[in-house]
């Protein structure tokens, strides 16, 4: 490890910003650039297998991980800041995470869906027990428990729409944007659980120990969002 010069304070460790892969990252890039963050060229190289990248900002690096993992990296202090959907925040409910800013991107909703053939004769108000395939078992259980329904959750990480078709269960809880994937698989949305968008999240302990740096980034992103809405 590099030794600090005698009498000189140790340089702070670089800030780490955790970003989700995929569509959300595409929507996030203009906000990052407006906030003054430009990743190194390898970040946009589709052939690169790197997961950590430098930026034009001294002392700030980026890691690119699965959307569900952003909250974990931030909660445990491996990343100081990140961008995560409130669906992930609701599922894990980490007390170590502070989400000060809605970035107004990645908008969709978390919903209950079932085969269209069931909808006409179904009455959700009469349910006492449901079996549901979902990536969000904790959110799902809380949603149904709030009205006295016991939810048996089957955890799936993808291809949720296949579960009713193949007899795994009759209902699913999943993210819905346009609803086209549901319709293509013979499903209809029957209950709304929550609206979803991406949030800027920070590690609470890091914010306390490095308030100027991390608070500064919160304000930069806030200014960007306010400028877009103006």
**Architecture of the domain delimited by 15-106+197-229:** 3-Layer(aba) Sandwich (3.40)
What is the model's pLDDT at position 120? 85
Domain ranges of the chain: 15-106+197-229, 108-194
* 15-106+197-229 and 108-194, same CATH topology: yes
DSSP label at 8? P
Of all helices (H) and strands (E), which one includes residue 212? helix 211-229
Check: CB of residue 117 under 8 Å from CB of residue 186. yes
pLDDT tens-place string over residues 68-111: 999 999 999 999 999 999 999 999 999 999 999 999 999 999 99
Closest by CA to 26, choosing from 158, 198, 149, 172, is 198
**Architecture of the domain delimited by 108-194:** 3-Layer(aba) Sandwich (3.40)
Q: How far apart are CA 75 and CA 88, in angstroms?
A: 12
Check: CB of residue 16 under 8 Å from CB of residue 83. no
pLDDT tens-place string over residues 159-177: 999 999 999 999 999 999 9
């Amino acid at each position: 490890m590099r030794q600090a010069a005698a009498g000189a304070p140790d340089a702070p460790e670089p800030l780490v910003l955790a970003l989700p892969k995929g569509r959300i990252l595409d929507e996030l890039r203009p906000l990052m650039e407006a906030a003054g963050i430009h990743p190194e060229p390898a970040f946009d190289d589709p052939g690169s297998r790197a997961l950590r990248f430098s930026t034009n900002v001294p002392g700030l690096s980026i890691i690119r991980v699965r959307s569900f993992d952003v909250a974990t990296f931030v909660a445990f202090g491996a990343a100081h800041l990140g961008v995560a959907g409130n669906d992930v925040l609701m599922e894990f409910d980490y007390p170590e995470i502070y989400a000060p800013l809605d970035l107004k991107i990645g908008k969709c909703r978390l919903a209950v869906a079932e085969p269209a053939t069931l909808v006409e004769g179904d009455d959700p108000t009469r349910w006492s027990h449901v079996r549901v395939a979902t990536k969000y078992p904790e959110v799902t259980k809380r949603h149904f428990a709030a009205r006295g329904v016991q939810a048996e959750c089957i955890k799936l990480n993808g291809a949720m729409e296949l579960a009713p078709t193949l007899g795994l269960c009759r209902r699913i809880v999943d993210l819905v944007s346009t609803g086209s994937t549901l319709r293509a698989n013979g499903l209809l949305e029957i209950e709304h659980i929550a609206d979803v968008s991406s949030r800027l999240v920070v590690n609470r302990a890091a914010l306390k120990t490095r308030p100027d740096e991390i608070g500064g980034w919160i304000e930069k992103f806030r200014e960007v969002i306010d400028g877009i809405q103006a």
